[in-house]
Structure 1
């Protein structure tokens, strides 16, 4: 019986191969889009879940408010981890991680610039699941100058994972003994390091300061239920351990500090939430946002719904043509159940074919999608275990829904009435199909508006005046490795033709370096008039090299001796302090730590105000910045002329090699560094465009099929109108106007919803566009044009047909 249903289904589908092809193509495209997005979403949601105890691991954060300054940190105090393990019986283990930054690693003749290096406590292997290939996880990082490598890194330097006992050199001066080799850290991790260096190698790790934040600190609890209890105990914990230092340095107790309007607090972030729900200062790597998971999940659902609606629409449209077939089958003895199974078999068969095509296409396109999304998704056996049942469920649900209308409604007709052509008005009604077309185009227009808004916001980011000129600036990231020769290198480059300016400091708008210090507005050292700005050491060439503009006063001058105690502030700092248009010559007192008294401060005079410049994502407001004239060899930035860049870069490399033979130069361009800050937004925009295009194509396939059906149903009418003198334009207009009305209705529904949703998305940006009326208009006109072009093909075809043939057929 089943074999017969399948054979009959194939025969019926082949007979209507045009509609079958549209159905399969539309459904396959929808399922393909849905599959790729689902893989993306699952990958995002799987971050850090490779850890056996992921639900019991929490990161300890710090929140600081000093006056009107608020900073949320992902890092905590040096002694916190060991103290928490002693104080709380339900803290099974605690560990710290600190990113080490760019380092030259040498083994024999091989020297490589590495930037995925971290300091870590020996307990890291007790908290995180980092399987050890060789070495003892309990003692691997117990001693100073020891390092654990990942499997890939061990092979890179030693051509084997049997590297325990061997030595590598950091920065040409420090020998580190390899004490362990672990499997590569999974890509779905909020940190991704290749080297784990013992924190015992870092003297600062043994500091007992409780008013400093330097280390990403994690705790493993006996049970996740203790998390709320732990958070509730933090005020008393901070009072106990930081109170004495607070009293000494700020002359107030912890309670007095809180009552003054400031606060110093701790809280927990579950490990599972770090990647998608954390954007604090001091993160170990760039995180994503759960908002994108919601957006893409919605797109996947919408596209699948559009594809299913297409399928249902075309299935119901063709049902009327099969009413006579139903009558004949019933006369020949088919029961209603037989007919129901027959129609469902056809629907399930189409869905199955589309699902198979979509599955193989997804597998083939996955590498391209990975490149686009910046992912490394791999179809593993574990993926197949949940994916195959999900696909089978989709086949059953979509097939059953799309086949339900013809199956249950057609099979209910009385054969005599059907054969006489007496169909009920309810059956002939096109309300359902009209509703589904409106739904399809409402979703498509919503996605078009979303795409236009995202594109315009990204364009705004790319073209916004950032307060500095990022073009034609080459940044030597490891200039600090030249040591005392760094200043010589800077001077030699300044003498090269084609080099306009140079500046030596690691504090750049694109570097991500942060350094906060406390400044007081005047000698009263009033905490309520304090500021907690970014405090950067720069040289006198910094502002001209970055092509910044002064709002007040002057730039630093190295020939003026008093500039050693001078500062330049940005406009945000001037506003914060209430200096406004008269900031020059104002005094600022920097806290040097210890007790809050004049003896522990340094006096600075403001000599200028630089125009605000962006050094964070445009999601964040510009913070106050204080620039100090000082030495920092972190990086060398070089403003180049546009002429003959390759030759100029070669000369820079030659100068480097002459000063440091064998040491590799590590450089990038500032505009590229800027682009990496917004890479996730750019990827989201590109993905949005692709899937919006697919949604429109799927909707148009359905509209194309419905237009063909409408033209077929009105063949006799068209023939009569042509005989009576109607021209092609009037016939095309007649066939198109009903569909155009539906698209206009879809625009009316989609526009306010899209405006609301995209405004919600834009709220995440401190600097953003405003949605203009033309965006809505462009989306509406675009949808109308797409619909008209789609419909016109079938309409013109019907209008050009010979009326004699159409009337003869009828």
Structure 2
């Protein structure tokens, strides 16, 4: 019997080729889109879940309130892990991880002594491979990071340095404040792409205390903020609050005046705090988009299947008279739907495999092939298939199996099942979804365009930022002077931080006040404000004094937030244990993403000579180069690079344009919105295919009526209007329903931005226009074909 069911199902699919093709294309595309979206979302939301004890591992985070702001300390002092392990029996094990935030020069002891620059460089406690489930390929898990100056390489880095040879026991030089020799003790498998801990080179934690640059990080024995990510493995997950209270108690023992609280965040939640807001918001939006596209594809299938119900009326009647009950018929039609969905699902998987690399490239993320064999992702795929089979088959099975056999012989199945009404509902739903997505896409594009063109209060164009490392310590001033001699260069300035790449934070208070505030801080030289064209709100009374010691420049926001007088020049505010006199005030400008409002800001300003000596010479800094707008960039960059390599032969030359750095803040939104646009087009294609199938069926059903009307003198346009009227009403209804829904969703998305547009009225007009035009084109494609057909062909035979 089952074999017979399969035969009949296949014959019906093959008999109605156009109908089957439309269904197959729409459903395959919809399922492919769902698979890709689910792959991305599942990867992002299953971070760190591959660890065996993931449910028992927590990251400890300190928090304290500073007026309206909550400051999170995700990095703590070196002694926090040992103190918690010693003082709370609920802590089974503890682990520290130190991540370098700049590239490190690595020189393997090989014949060519080639220098490599590694960006994923870290230090870890000796229990790394017992605490987590990372796989060690060579070396002993308990010993590889036990001794000072031991180093573990990832499989890729090991092959990059030493080829296929076993690197264990070989020497590697690490360049920091001095050059240190490390011994390779192990090789680890490359960390999974959905791991929040990512490193290619890991040195032992005990090495840090023997290196001049990192030794101060381990000195403090106080329970407080610091430089180390601290992970705890608990005996039981319900003891997290108890351990957090222990942390608070230990903190009070270190500092009685501390107001910090502590919380334990599960391993699964760490990634959500790390990724940028825009990208994380899309993790919530994309599953909804995937669901809507899937519903579009499935309703297409249901609409076209029930539309063909009347053509199978006699088949149903004969089966019932021959003894088939309703259940067996339902199984038959469910099986047909299942076969069709399974074929579409396989095609959808094939499409997703073909476009996967391009999709991930657009997202700018890496997902290893091993993830596709991850249990949770396989379960997700199976769930998708089961849902698609169930949803697509339930209504056709009910409709087609419930008919009266006598009426079936009279072709009255259509009238009695109410499937025409259902198809109207589905068509309205499809275009509601399409219009909803179009409006959302227009709003996204308009908001991103607004961000890129907004005046942020400083000059971003014609400025190159070059990171300068401490390796240039003895030649900093000479290097800067040589850069200034380049003919295309108009001005240079120095800052401790790259613009849009971070800033310092200080606690400050007004004179004769104990109330603390948080203020962002930039350490810059005297040319910074002029070079970046930051405008003065209150200019220093003496332009030469604002770079003097114990004087600062603030922004307008600092005046309002700290409650300073309208002209605060001469007022003193504290930073740390010292007071600084306000020399001037600049107008507010955006120094972070436009997703966040402008916050209080202060400049510690040095003279050019001091900046070259005490900033560029002692710390990793950023040199800003303002160049002539008529300069040929390729030539200019070659000159800058040649000058750079003359003074620093160990650190690779790198640069970034400031406007690129600003745009990079929104790369996630741009990439994800581009993918969103692709899904919009996909939704429109699927909706149009469904409409094409329905209008094709309608013209077939009314072929004799059309023939009679043509014989009586009806024109092509009149017949086209006849076929289109019902569908156009549904499209207009869809526009009315979608508009308020789209406004609500778009407004909620825009609320994530501190600077946002008002939803443009014309976005609704464009979305409605696109839906109407697309509908007319689709209806015309089949409607004209039916209208110009020879009426004799439709009327000469029954």
- TM-score normalised according to structure 2 size: 0.90
Pair 1:137–1:344, CA change in 2 (3 A): closer
Where do residues 732-747 of structure 1 align in structure 2 (5 Å cutoff)? 732-747=720-735
Query: 1:130, 1:717 → 2: CA distance?
Result: 72
Deviation at 1:212, TM superposition (A): 4.1
Does the CA-based 8 Å contact 1:63-1:72 persist in structure 2? yes
Query: 2:385, 2:60 → 1: CA distance?
Result: 46
Where do residues 623-638 of structure 1 align in structure 2 (5 Å cutoff)? 623-630=599-606, 631=611, 632-633=615-616, 634-638=621-625
Where do residues 147-158 of structure 1 align in structure 2 (5 Å cutoff)? 147-158=151-162
Q: Which residue of 2 aligns with 1:110?
A: 114
Pair 1:748–1:153, CA change in 2 (3 A): same
SS in 1 for 2:48: coil
CA deviations on 1:681-706 (whole Å, 9 max, x unpaired) are 22221221111211221111111101
Query: 1:384, 1:590 → 2: CA distance?
Result: 51
Deviation at 1:531, TM superposition (A): 2.7
SS in 1 for 2:282: helix
Query: 2:349, 2:319 → 1: CA distance?
Result: 36
Deviation at 1:463, TM superposition (A): 1.7
Where do residues 749-788 of structure 1 align in structure 2 (5 Å cutoff)? 749-788=737-776
Pair 1:387–1:533, CA change in 2 (3 A): closer
Pair 1:417–1:55, CA change in 2 (3 A): closer
- 5+ residue gaps, structure 2, are none
Q: Which residue of 1 aligns with 2:265?
A: 269
Aligned equivalent of 2:452, options 459, 462, 471: 462
Where do residues 574-589 of structure 1 align in structure 2 (5 Å cutoff)? 574-579=559-564, 581-589=566-574
Query: 1:384, 1:63 → 2: CA distance?
Result: 35
Query: 2:281, 2:645 → 1: CA distance?
Result: 47
SS in 2 for 1:110: coil
Deviation at 1:404, TM superposition (A): 4.3
Q: Which residue of 1 aligns with 2:238?
A: 225
Aligned length: 773
Deviation at 1:89, TM superposition (A): 1.2
Query: 2:541, 2:318 → 1: CA distance?
Result: 93
Does the CA-based 8 Å contact 1:106-1:172 persist in structure 2? no
Aligned equivalent of 2:585, options 598, 601, 609: 609
Pair 1:424–1:604, CA change in 2 (3 A): closer
- 5+ residue gaps, structure 1, are 247-253, 255-262, 280-284, 593-600
Q: Which residue of 2 aligns with 1:173?
A: 178
Aligned equivalent of 2:475, options 474, 481, 485: 485
Q: Which residue of 2 aligns with 1:203?
A: 215
Deviation at 1:561, TM superposition (A): 8.4
- TM-score normalised according to structure 1 size: 0.89
- Greater CA deviation, 562-571 or 322-331? 322-331
1:572 aligns with 2:548: no
Aligned equivalent of 2:525, options 539, 563, 568: 539
Query: 1:699, 1:307 → 2: CA distance?
Result: 8
1:315 aligns with 2:305: yes
Query: 1:424, 1:628 → 2: CA distance?
Result: 80
Pair 1:265–1:730, CA change in 2 (3 A): same
Pair 1:13–1:233, CA change in 2 (3 A): same
CA deviations on 1:29-86 (whole Å, 9 max, x unpaired) are 1111111111112111221122222111111112223455542222223432221111
Pair 1:341–1:807, CA change in 2 (3 A): same
Deviation at 1:345, TM superposition (A): 3.6
Q: Which residue of 2 aligns with 1:128?
A: 132
Query: 2:622, 2:504 → 1: CA distance?
Result: 15
1:64 aligns with 2:70: no
- Greater CA deviation, 496-505 or 760-769? 760-769
Query: 2:599, 2:75 → 1: CA distance?
Result: 19
CA deviations on 1:293-340 (whole Å, 9 max, x unpaired) are 221111121111111110000000011122134345556676655544
Does the CA-based 8 Å contact 1:151-1:183 persist in structure 2? yes
- Greater CA deviation, 705-714 or 70-79? 70-79
Query: 2:160, 2:314 → 1: CA distance?
Result: 73
Question: RMSD value over aligned CA atoms?
Answer: 2.7
Q: Which residue of 2 aligns with 1:258?
A: none
Query: 1:807, 1:120 → 2: CA distance?
Result: 84
Q: Which residue of 1 aligns with 2:196?
A: 190
Deviation at 1:178, TM superposition (A): 2.7
